[in-house]
Structure 1
Amino acid sequence: MDTSAADDNSDEPLTPVGRLLLQPEMNQIIHCAMGFKNSIDIDAVKSHLKTSLLLSHPRFSSLMLRDSRGLQHWHNAPNVDLDRHIIVIHNPVTTSPVDHETAVNEYLADLSTSSTRLSANKPLWELHLLMAHNCGIFRIHHALGDGVSVMSLFLESFRTRGSNGNEEKILGRGRRKRVNGEKGWWGLLIRLVEMLWFSLVFLVENAMRSLWLCDQKTAISGGDGVELWPRKLATARFRLEDMKLVKKAVPNATINDVLVGVVSSGLSRYLDHQTPNALHDGFRITGLAMVNLREQPGLQVSNFLESNSESSWGNKFGMFLLPIYYHKSSDLDPLVYLKRAKLVLDRKKQSLEADFSYKVGCFLITYFGAKVASWLLYRMVCNTSFTISNIIGPQEAIAIGGNLVTYLRVNTCSLPQALTMHMVSYAERADLQILVAKDIIPDPTFLAKCFEEALLDMKEAASSQP
């Protein structure tokens, strides 16, 4: 982190969340891997970036500096030298005879260790071009913005000609409209009581998780210091068409419900294989789920460069505790996992847990400092078993320098947990990146297969319904 002075009046201080994400315990970098249809033309990529919205955004042309009082600021650096940000790797990134996907995942796993930093003497992003694998990897510090911001920026910067430009169909807030059948004052009162009750219960549990309440140990448990352990990365590939078919089998279900159901079923399968008969039916495993808090269902281009806009750029996300329950996979109808996931998520959405997590975090950072807030968040991560997020990516094809992107995948730097999962949908596909501590979960490819098979079983069960 650069400690140079930054006293220019035009400098902009970091947001509370930005300060949190720069703390050593929570230093997070977003990795976005893009596969290309054709060989990479370096000059075409540079030419595209120079004229793209990406370099027009102030966060991608600003240095993170400290002023004379030690406060962190964004300091505009008008001339961005692309040669310092674009890292070209001509040779294969592995000497072992593996396919391109495995090679890229191994490279990403190495980048994901918490010891891998971005240099603070330039804006906090890089583009790694893996020429032998037709892949580009954007490394973007989380302090610059969250997953929704990054996906929106990619959409606007790399949209292909002839696309309709309708952001409302591409990016959405993850909240479901209420489907409570009660109407009038009585229905409003019931919803208010439910919201207050669930909010109170969940907030108390959040506080307990930050201090002492911890998941019981399983074959996927991490803990203090695990963020420093070596990583492996695998990809679970889903068809959005299959996920949409499954969600129709349960009234008012969403893709997020399906994802959580798949994770619940897949983890049960994995634990059955790793530690058969070690867990009792209904054993609870707790994760952290990331939630987009923006009110607008999509991001508007007119507001896109306004870093202070509540509806556009920045880190506007909260989180909630996500309990899932182990069950022997052979004992249940596959759709039961979806129904239970929907019940849990419906209660979470009725509460203010995610909103309060954001506001309480900002309060703690502002009045007690980022170190205190970082310590509490680190304890919560240590006391849970996994982190999961789902970002709606472009539904249309995007391209860089005229080269079509064939896949889009996201993961972040390692956490004290042994398992983190990030799903991004792109052009009717949904890829779930599964980052693990390899000494705890040695075969993430098998775990990915457990998730894929769980969705296929749900699809078969949904298809057989009358």
Structure 2
Amino acid sequence: MEVTANVASPPSRPLSVRRASAEMERADNSTAEEPMSPTGRILEEMGVCIVVVMGLDSPVNLPVFRSGIETELITRSSRFRSVQIMDGPEDDKPQWVQTAVNVDDHIIVPRLDPAAVASNPEKAVEDYVAMLSTLPMDRGRPLWEFHFLDLKTSGATSTVVLRLHHSIGDAMSIMTLFMASARSTADPTRLPAMPPPPRRTGAIYQQRTRPPLSSSSDYLAWVWSYFVLAWHTLVDVALLAATTINDVLVGVTSAALSQYYFRKSGDTNTKRICLRSILLVNTRPVSSRQTYVTKVERGNRLSSLIYPFHIALHNDPLEYVRKAKRSMHRKKSSLEVKFVQVVVEFLVKYFGAKTGAFIFRLFATRTSMLLSNVVGPSEHITLCGHPISFMAITTCGQPQALIMHFLNYGSTIRVTLAVDDAQFPDCHKLLDDFDDSIRLIKNAAGLKKLTTLIQND
């Protein structure tokens, strides 16, 4: 298993961007496809976007990639050929309506500063990705666009960046679209291999099937399990008032943040320090990943957990993982995820998306970090006629000062940070801490065992 890192932070200067000028024409037979989900409506109000960075093993062949977008991605995903409209002037319930798509409207080839590219191509890509967070999207057309950076970096021959509005779908729906539209790089005659299924098969709060009750002790154990479920739920709901991410990666994050804090502060006091964070959770059944060939996931099926990251020094690197697994086990034994989902749907239904988004943003500003883990293709893929050497993902539009995304692609876990430069002026040092932490934990646990833990959790 290899771990690499990326960073996305606000650039120090704007970069010029050239766009195709063709106008999109609305299809005469456009029809309302479906209403937007409550989660999608809140993300729409907040203006959250997903950014997927893909390194290519070859120079960009724009006609070939354009053809792949048209014949694979747009054909398979109705959201890539739909716009958002309102039912009426007084109605805040947007609908997805299919429309004619001019692919050239969604292809952007920027002119980058040659001196900046020659000096540091990796930073030129980072700055460009960060700059995308400052640009509005044209709502008169489907809310997605591909940016082609035909420059060589240390990890790729060229780079393609997909930016799309989060209301189109979440990261898992985008990954299933990629896998359904791609081919295995090792064997172009077949679809990419699916990720190995974890031990869990249902929702993270779903309890295990219990054997029939045959004695009083079985009955007491049955009652006790539901008492624990109810108690954990009450505690987590109380914390909220005041899918899932992998437990091992939570431990890695805790170790990296601890190393960063103690090095930067020079503090030797290991007093209890806690950072409140949001962990995004995929609420789909795990088995849904296995059906991407016949059904491409769409939309947003997300919820969240409130997770306290404890900053501490441990002599044994595995202690960070042990603490994370204990804490996450309790989280997975409660209905906190379901509670958040129900609250979001209630707020949007009875108070509207604007109020729901305001409350959610107010709640999010009380947290310091956002963390998510996305399971990508388990082997290298060829997408739109181009072999993909690496994939990274990030988002923009959230209020947290530190946003961390893990993406599994092949045998690599790539960490991407989106940061507030005022709070993390040395964010590359934090990336170094992630690299050091995963290496220490990997050496302590053994590569094979650690890889198995990450895949099976």
Give the TM-score, by structure 1 length.
0.80
The aligned amino acid for 1:274 is K
The aligned amino acid for 2:321 is L
2-side partners of 1:343 and 1:139: how far apart? 36
The aligned amino acid for 1:40 is V
**CA offsets, 1:361-385, max 9 Å, x none?**
0111111111222122112211111
Change (3 A) 1:199 1:192: same
2-side partners of 1:417 and 1:93: how far apart? 33
1:314 to 299, 303, 324: 299
**Residue 437 (str. 1) matches residue 420 (str. 2):** yes
2:97 to 75, 84, 94: 75
Other structure's SS at 2:423 match: coil
1:342 to 317, 322, 325: 325
1:127 to 126, 146, 154: 146
1:362 to 339, 345, 349: 345
The aligned amino acid for 1:258 is V
| Alignment check: 8 A CA contact 1:175 1:349 kept | yes
CA drift at 1:56:
3.4
**Residue 46 (str. 1) matches residue 80 (str. 2):** no
CA drift at 1:163:
3.4
1-side partners of 2:434 and 2:292: how far apart? 36
1-side partners of 2:173 and 2:115: how far apart? 32
Q: Name the Cα RMSD after superposition.
A: 2.9
The aligned amino acid for 1:190 is W
Change (3 A) 1:82 1:180: closer
Other structure's SS at 1:379 match: helix
1:54-453 equivalences under 5 Å are 54-68=74-88, 69-71=90-92, 72-77=94-99, 79-89=100-110, 91=112, 95=116, 97-112=118-133, 115-133=134-152, 134-160=158-184, 161-163=188-190, 167=194, 169=196, 175=204, 184-208=218-242, 256-277=246-267, 280-299=270-289, 300-301=291-292, 304=295, 312-328=297-313, 331-453=314-436
370-379 or 83-92: bigger deviation: 83-92
**CA offsets, 1:376-404, max 9 Å, x none?**
21122111110000011001221233221
**Residue 14 (str. 1) matches residue 36 (str. 2):** yes
1-side partners of 2:446 and 2:111: how far apart? 47
CA drift at 1:173:
7.1
| Alignment check: 8 A CA contact 1:170 1:298 kept | no
Identity %: 29
| Alignment check: 8 A CA contact 2:31 2:98 kept | no
**CA offsets, 1:305-331, max 9 Å, x none?**
5xxxxxx32211110001111113xx4
2-side partners of 1:98 and 1:185: how far apart? 70
Change (3 A) 1:67 1:176: closer
353-362 or 293-302: bigger deviation: 293-302
The aligned amino acid for 1:73 is Q
Change (3 A) 1:386 1:33: same
CA drift at 1:122:
0.6
- Structure 1 alignment gaps of length 5 or more: 209-253, 306-311
Give the TM-score, by structure 2 length.
0.81
1-side partners of 2:350 and 2:176: how far apart? 32
CA drift at 1:84:
0.3
**CA offsets, 1:339-359, max 9 Å, x none?**
000011000100111121112
Change (3 A) 1:327 1:441: same
| Alignment check: 8 A CA contact 2:317 2:444 kept | yes
The aligned amino acid for 2:252 is V
2-side partners of 1:163 and 1:376: how far apart? 46
Other structure's SS at 1:189 match: helix
The aligned amino acid for 1:304 is K
2-side partners of 1:116 and 1:185: how far apart? 59
CA drift at 1:422:
0.7
Change (3 A) 1:118 1:454: same
The aligned amino acid for 2:222 is L
Other structure's SS at 2:148 match: strand
| Alignment check: 8 A CA contact 1:93 1:130 kept | no
138-147 or 289-298: bigger deviation: 289-298
1-side partners of 2:427 and 2:435: how far apart? 12
Other structure's SS at 2:340 match: helix
The aligned amino acid for 1:58 is S
| Alignment check: 8 A CA contact 2:182 2:191 kept | no
CA drift at 1:29:
0.5
Number of residue pairs matched? Answer: 403
Other structure's SS at 2:309 match: strand
| Alignment check: 8 A CA contact 1:18 1:142 kept | yes
| Alignment check: 8 A CA contact 2:393 2:416 kept | yes
Quote the residue 1:245 is aligned against.
none
1-side partners of 2:269 and 2:209: how far apart? 36
1:34 to 49, 54, 61: 54
| Alignment check: 8 A CA contact 2:365 2:399 kept | yes
1-side partners of 2:348 and 2:432: how far apart? 40
2-side partners of 1:354 and 1:116: how far apart? 32
Change (3 A) 1:207 1:279: farther
CA drift at 1:302:
6.5
